[in-house]
């Protein structure tokens, strides 16, 4: 065991993992976090706590992670490179570990121009890949980035993101290889809609032996409406929504679009369960946390295994 988190135990035991996502509030309400978290307890193995996602100021990821942890749900502490330099990052990693957090997800982060402070200075002192390698160095070598010894180093289960659909496609697998080389233990992918491309990517990962060295969790976001599907297709960078998905949503009765979206998600989950190289699902039900139990139920991933 590298870190001994619930997710690590589930993955190493060979179970099909199922993780969720939770955005901290834009305020100080603990109730808000609790309300969102209660839908997830018992239905996911771990929940990602986003870090100022889309560059909007929110309760800090480690603080929200602590609240979630108290509720009995395992958090995945997300960290982006946009807001902190290497000193602050390492300090936060130490603090987060001291408070019992065991998973970390290393991201570059959305550009500040998207958010509510578009002219903030983006730090980007190091990039996500260097962050992965830094956390690994802290854990495995017990050293800071500078090379100085750490007294009781933090032991994190290190995650990273991968986007199989961004350009250039042929480079994506090499980028995954670089992340694995940097030392990530698990990968959560961008929302998958283009299954053909995903299969191709996973096959390459299998062929290169990358899936033996890291666990890949496929990202799933059920479509809530046709508008959302079209927005994702045209406006969200790095997400590829094939026309078939939109046609399929348009083909059903207006009231049933959300239902159809969940159906598509469940079909994807069914396929990933059988696909060699995919170790689990990362469900990003954006502002739809209360649907998670239903989706988990229908995707037949319940009950979640309890590890000791």
Partner 1 sequence: MVKSKRKPVEEIQNSIADFDKILTVGCGGCASVCLAGGQREVNALNAELGLLFKSEKKTKKLGSYTVERQCNMQFLVELDEKVKDYDCLVSMACGAGVQLMAERYPTLPVFPAVNTVSIGVDREIGMYEEKCRACGECVLAYTGGICPVTRCAKGVFNGPCGGTNRGKCEISQDIPCAWLDIFERLKGQNRLDDIMKLQAPMQWQNQVQRTTVQEPYARRYYK
Chain positions contacting partner 1, by CB under 8 A: 81-82, 86, 108-111, 113-114, 122, 124-130, 133-134, 145, 161-163, 166-168, 171, 174-175, 177-178, 181-182, 190, 237-238
CB of 257 to partner 1, least distance (A): 26
The tokens of 251 are what?
Answer: 């083909």
The tokens of 108 are what?
Answer: 């570059």
Which is closer to partner 1, CB of 37 or CB of 162? 162
CB of 290 to partner 1, least distance (A): 28
* Residue 146 buriedness (CB in 10 A; 0-12 / 13-18 / 19+): exposed
DSSP letter at 112 equals G
The tokens of 154 are what?
Answer: 């933090």
* 216: enclosing H helix or E strand: strand 215-220
CB of 129 to partner 1, least distance (A): 4
Which is closer to partner 1, CB of 26 or CB of 174? 174
* 20: enclosing H helix or E strand: strand 17-22
Alpha-carbon dihedral angle through residues 23, 25, 31, 35, given to the nearest 10 degrees: -30
Pure H helices in 58-207: 61-70, 86-98, 128-136, 169-182, 195-207
Which is closer to partner 1, CB of 35 or CB of 181? 181
Which is closer to partner 1, CB of 71 or CB of 177? 177
Which is closer to partner 1, CB of 139 or CB of 291? 139
* 48: enclosing H helix or E strand: strand 46-49
Name, in order, each residue with C-beta under 8 angstroms of 5's C-beta and a sequence gap of 6 or more. 46, 74, 102, 103, 157
Are the CB atoms for 307 and 13 separated by under 8 Å? yes
CB of 72 to partner 1, least distance (A): 32
CB of 126 to partner 1, least distance (A): 5
Which is closer to partner 1, CB of 27 or CB of 168? 168
CB of 189 to partner 1, least distance (A): 9
Rg for the chain (alpha carbons), in Å?
Answer: 19
User: What residues form DSSP beta bridges with 217?
Assistant: 188, 280
Which is closer to partner 1, CB of 70 or CB of 125? 125
CB of 153 to partner 1, least distance (A): 18
Say which residue the tokens 């059903």 belong to. Answer: 252
């Amino acid at each position: 065991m590298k870190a001994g988190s619930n997710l690590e135990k589930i993955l190493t035991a060979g179970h099909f993992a199922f993780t969720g996502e939770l955005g901290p509030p834009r305020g100080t309400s603990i109730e808000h976090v609790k309300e969102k978290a209660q839908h997830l307890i018992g239905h996911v193995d771990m929940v990602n706590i986003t870090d100022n996602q889309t560059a909007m100021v929110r309760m800090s990821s480690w603080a929200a992670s602590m609240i979630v942890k108290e509720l009995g749900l395992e958090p995945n502490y997300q960290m982006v490179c946009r807001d902190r330099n290497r000193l602050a990052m390492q300090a936060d990693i130490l603090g987060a570990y001291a408070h019992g957090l065991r998973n970390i997800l290393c991201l570059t982060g959305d550009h500040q121009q998207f958010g509510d402070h578009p002219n903030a200075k983006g730090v980007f002192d190091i990039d996500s890949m260097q962050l992965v390698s830094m956390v690994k160095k802290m854990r495995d070598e017990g050293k800071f980035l500078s090379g100085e010894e750490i007294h009781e180093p933090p032991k994190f289960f290190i995650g990273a993101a991968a986007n199989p659909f961004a350009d250039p496609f042929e480079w994506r697998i090499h980028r995954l290889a670089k992340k694995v080389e940097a030392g990530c233990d698990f990968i959560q992918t961008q929302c998958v809609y283009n299954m053909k491309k995903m299969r191709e990517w996973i096959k390459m990962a299998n062929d290169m032996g990358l899936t033996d060295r890291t666990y890949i969790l496929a990202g799933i976001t059920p479509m809530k409406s046709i508008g959302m599907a079209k927005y994702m297709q045209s406006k969200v960078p790095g997400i590829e929504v094939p026309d078939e998905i939109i046609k399929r949503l348009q083909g059903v009765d207006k009231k049933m679009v959300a239902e159809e979206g969940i159906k598509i998600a469940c079909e994807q989950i069914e396929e990933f369960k059988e696909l060699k190289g995919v170790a689990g699902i990362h469900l990003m039900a954006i502002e739809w946390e209360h649907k998670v139990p239903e989706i988990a139920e229908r995707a037949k991933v319940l009950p979640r295994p309890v590890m000791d």
